[in-house]
Amino acid sequence: MDKRTADMGTTPIGLLLLRMSIPAMISVVMMSLYNIIDTFWVSGLPNGTEAIAALTVLMPLQQIAAAMGMCMSVGVTSLVSRRLGERKLEEVHAIAGNAVTLPIVLGIAVGAVCIIFPGPLALAFGGSHQLVAPAISYLTIVAWGFPFQIYSMSIDGLIRGSGNTKTPMYIRGSAALLNAILDPFLIYGWGFFPMLGLRGAAIATLLAQILGAVLSTGYILSRRSPYRISSAALWPKITIIRDIAHVGFPSFINGCVRSTVGSIANWVLAGFGPAALAAHGLSMRVMMLMLSFMGPGVSQALVPIVGFNFGAKNYRRMWRTWLSASVVLAGIGIVLSSIIIVFAPTIMAPFARDPELLRLSVWAVRARVCTVFLVEPQMMGVFTFQGMGMGFRALVLTMSRDVIFMIPALILLTDIFGVYGAFAAQPVANVLGLIIAGTMLLRAYRRYPVTDSV
């Protein structure tokens, strides 16, 4: 067994989380930064507000593609780490083969739908007729990259499942860097490049996703990889698909639910004009950048650690992992939220060049980040359930906040307070979701208490 894999059961929790989280965090930060950079360049177009609003319309659709990748990534990471903890090493290589084949099929399917029906999809996800044309110009290009994106996420999960979080960092970082470099050249036509506007941003994203897939393939086939994939392992195996889906499919459903909630938010905010919709998109991107310094990176370390120790029946170590991650991230959330709330006008000004857009963006981002410190323990609970192979519980936990609480709050608060109420719905849902998270985690702890650990 690779030393990095064995370390998941022996290295002190704090040191292990730090060592595995930092590379993953850097990878997520880079991806969030390129989204911010992408938005910055797009905001400088003559129709910058409408362009940002068009990208916001497509966010829920892109979330579905990302949800497919997350389905594979989480399912593969959890399954591989548990099998490594159980010392079933031969089965691990069979899982790796399916982790290569399945995402390609999924990516081709979702990409084809987007390329064939771009207009109806843009309208369905909250776009007004004013925003359909720019949305189509972006979607019909970026959709070609969905197979590469989903494939890369699956391979990332495979690599992380063995305890290696540095290699995905290098791969994602390289892709993000290429995207950031190409953006101004393709959007504004610098040098000998043509000025392509939103289409240029889409081409930059597509090329970056292709690079990520190529680099992922190169690593998984190299001698440095702990996996040995035979041609026979590439054929889909029902038992492996079932085990991946058991954990991963709820993550896909969760992504679809978030996409649906995002579409509802788009429909609601579209009634207040492009500036409100653009402010929604800008605040989401800033919040995602903030979160990239927190939960997403840690989760990529937490899932394999929990899976390995759950498989080894070391429940004490498993629960200490959740607690350590939750406490630290809640503290970081308080600090980062305070900074964003205080300096929100300065942060949003480079992206919101229209006064109305700036005013709404400041309100939106302050509302979104004020309760982030309450979300992190909930999200660490979600990832703990995923590591334990309890995908349905993870789905219930996220749906309670994102559907049961979020949608009614969005409708009710918008009806009472208008556009400001729409932006306030998320923090209300975050507070209520904490109650559900605490109840579910307590029940799981009673079933797998530390007294039963080895």
- Is residue 13 situated within a structural domain? yes
Residues 6+ positions from 397 with CB-CB distance below 8 Å: 378, 381, 382, 385, 433, 436, 437, 440
pLDDT of residue 224: 83
- The token pair that represents 301 in the structure block: 């370390």
Answer whether residue 363 is part of any domain.
yes
Residue type for 340, please?
I
What range does the domain containing 96 cover? 3-449
Instruction: Output Rg (C-alpha) for the chain, integer angstroms.
Output: 21
**pLDDT tens figures, 411-430:** 999 999 999 999 999 999 99
pLDDT, tens digit (0-9, with 9 covering 90-100), for 244-285:
887 778 778 878 887 888 888 888 988 898 899 999 999 988
pLDDT digits (tens, 9 = 90+) for 287-296: 888 888 776 6
Domain count, the chain: 1
- Look at residue 299 and tell me if it is in a domain: yes
Render pLDDT for 103-124 as a digit per residue (tens, 0 to 9).
999 999 999 999 999 989 888 8
Ramachandran area for residue 178 (φ above 0: left; ψ -120 to 50: alpha; else beta):
alpha
110-124, 204-218, 294-308: least confident range: 294-308
Query: What is the pLDDT of the chain when averaged over all its residues?
Result: 86
Instruction: Pick 270 or 143 by higher pLDDT.
Output: 143
Average pLDDT over residues 305-316: 86
What is the rounded distance in angstroms from the CA atom of residue 10 to the CA atom of residue 42? 48
Contacts of 74 (CB under 8 A, 6+ apart): 157, 247, 248, 251, 303, 386, 391
In the prediction, which pLDDT does 295 show? 66
C-alpha to C-alpha distance for 153 and 107, rounded to whole angstroms: 11
* Within a domain: 72: yes
Q: For residue 123, what pLDDT is reported? A: 85
**pLDDT exceeding 70 applies to what percent of the chain?**
96
Give just the sign of the alpha carbon dihedral 23, 26, 32, 38: negative
**What local confidence, expressed as pLDDT, does residue 453 receive?**
44
152-165: pLDDT as tens digits: 999 988 888 877 77
On the question of pLDDT at 454 being above 70, the answer is no
User: Could you give the 3-state DSSP secondary structure of residue 410?
Assistant: helix
Of 274, 292, 223, residue with least CA distance to 56: 274
Tell me, yes or no, whether 182 lies in a domain.
yes
Tell me, what's the pLDDT at 3? 58
Q: Does residue 123 belong to any structural domain of this protein? A: yes
Q: Which of 69-78, 295-304, 322-331, 341-350 has the lowest average pLDDT?
A: 295-304
333-388 pLDDT, tens digit per residue, is 999 999 999 999 999 998 888 899 999 999 999 999 999 899 889 989 988 998 88
3-state secondary structure 291-307: HHCCHHHHHHHHHHHHH
- The whole-number average pLDDT for the span 17-21 is 74
Question: In whole angstroms, what is the distance from residue 25 CA to residue 325 CA?
Answer: 13
Is 454 part of any domain? no
Q: What is the pTM of this model?
A: 0.76
Q: Is the pLDDT of residue 199 over 70?
A: yes
Dihedral sign, Cα of residue 371, residue 376, residue 381, residue 385: positive
Q: What is the mean pLDDT of residues 432-442?
A: 92
On whether residue 310 sits in a domain, the answer given is: yes
Banded pLDDT at 26 (limits 50, 70, 90): confident
